[in-house]
Amino acid sequence: MKSDSFSTSRYIGNKSKQVDVIKQCILDYGIHEPHSVVDLFSGTGCVSNMFLNHFPSVQKILANDIEPYAYIYTKARLTCEDSRERVQKRIHKIASKVESLRDDSSGVYSPNTVTLKYTGDASRPSLFTRDHAMAIDGYSYILNNPRLSKIDAPVMAAVLDEVLRKNFGYGHFHNVIRQEEKRNLSWIQHQFMPSCVYPMGLGENVPKRKIMISVSAQDALQFMSRICRQSRQTPIDIVFIDPPYTQYNYGRMYHILNTIVLHDDPYTNGLHAVRKDYHRSPFSQKSHAFTSFQRLFFMCGQCTKYICMSYCTNGVVCLSDILFLLEQNGFGGTKVYTLSERSSMKKNTITEVLIISKSTQR
């Protein structure tokens, strides 16, 4: 299944290469005609997109992710009904505005018009240089809206995609920058803006049938609490959960993408100029993860028929405890499917699994 061409293959926990397996696991479990789906940690929207296009019975999708970059990706993927050509015209129009901000004498964007990001701590040089900040800020300067929901999501998604394609979407990218410095970084000033290309297939992916799609950017537990209150009488068929189950926080790893979307002036830390306000998920903290999963499963037990959960054998909470919490909160008939296996840096085998469990209260 090739749903689109977002450059997300290197994302932590990326599901774009696993959606076919996930779909088959759901069918094998016996879930054939779900009507409503909650995608609690939507990421770039791969799983929501799978339900949207490959389960014709689905009439409602509620996607959520607290990370601003993930919200933009998911919204562009699920709700854009414009043709690729129409969005590309908007990109070219904005690119022209961005070029008009550039100082022809110096070949860079005027700091008077474009806010600089990641200029670094005076005592420690930032790896994210002024040239990089200038190049990327042009788009976010024009696209930014104080309300996240009002940003032109398809165009912003194209910008984020281009940043990833150029290898500047990560917090740890010093080797890449060293390589680019050898090429004098000229492409950043003169080629980055015009090269943004709207990912193929997004507009064509949205089905023409009537379907309710909502994309939110809230804390997962708060979002689930609201869904629980609204769905007690008519339960959600599937809650898909793909939590940040290791110690690595997405907001820390992809802070550059979030700043491009927010176009704010964050306080930053360290050599990689990580935002001080990045979201620390309780699901990836040893002191909070167990109780967070307990709260989540309890709420799911009140308002959903099935939980589908992507997890890993090296999660902060061990897999056996996850299965115990599911049973404790009224879920049974649990099956664990293998999605993929890989070797860790310590040469241990890490297995990604899909857990599917049915509520015994519904």
Question: What's 121's domain CATH number?
Answer: 3.40.50.150
Q: Is residue 68 part of a domain?
A: yes
- Amino acid at the residue 71: Y
> Rounded to an integer, what distance in angstroms lies between the CA atom of residue 295 and that of residue 180?
46
Q: Give the C-alpha distances (Å, rounded to integers) separating 343 from 50, 79, 248.
A: 27, 37, 17
- Identify which of 130, 129, 127, 138 has the alpha carbon closest to the alpha carbon of residue 162: 138
Asked whether 259 and 117 are in contact (CB, 8 A), the reply is yes
Domain count, the chain: 1
* pLDDT of amino acid 166: 55
Which tens digits make up the pLDDT trace of 54-64? 999 999 999 99
Q: Is residue 7 part of a domain?
A: no
Q: Is residue 2 part of a domain?
A: no
Kindly provide the b/e burial profile for residues 62-89, where b requires at least 16 CB atoms within 10 angstroms of the residue's own CB.
Answer: bbbbbbbbbbbbbbbbbbbeeebeebbe
Q: Is residue 160 part of a domain?
A: yes
Q: Is residue 310 part of a domain?
A: yes
Length of the chain: 362
Q: Is residue 6 part of a domain?
A: no
Instruction: Supply the range of the domain harboring residue 191.
Output: 19-359
> For the chain, which ranges sit under pLDDT 70?
1-14, 98-139, 162-209, 248, 265, 270-273, 344-347, 362
**Rg (the chain; Cα; Å):** 21
Q: Is residue 121 part of a domain?
A: yes
Per the listing, tokens 């290791």 go with 246
* Backbone phi and psi for residue 208, each to the nearest 5 degrees, phi listed first: -85, -10
- Packed helices 46-54 and 19-29: angle between N→C axes, nearest 10 degrees: 60
Reduce the secondary structure of 107-168 to three states and give it as a string.
CEECCCCCCCCCCCECCECCCCCHHHHHHHHHHHHHHCCCCHHHCCHHHHHHHHHHHHHCCC
Q: Is residue 13 part of a domain?
A: no
Could you tell me the sign of the dihedral formed by the alpha carbons of 81, 83, 84, 88, in that order? negative
Which tens digits make up the pLDDT trace of 149-170? 888 888 888 777 766 665 554 4
Q: Give the C-alpha distances (Å, rounded to integers) separating 328 from 229, 287, 358.
A: 21, 20, 13
Predicted model pTM: 0.82
190 token code pair: 């003169």
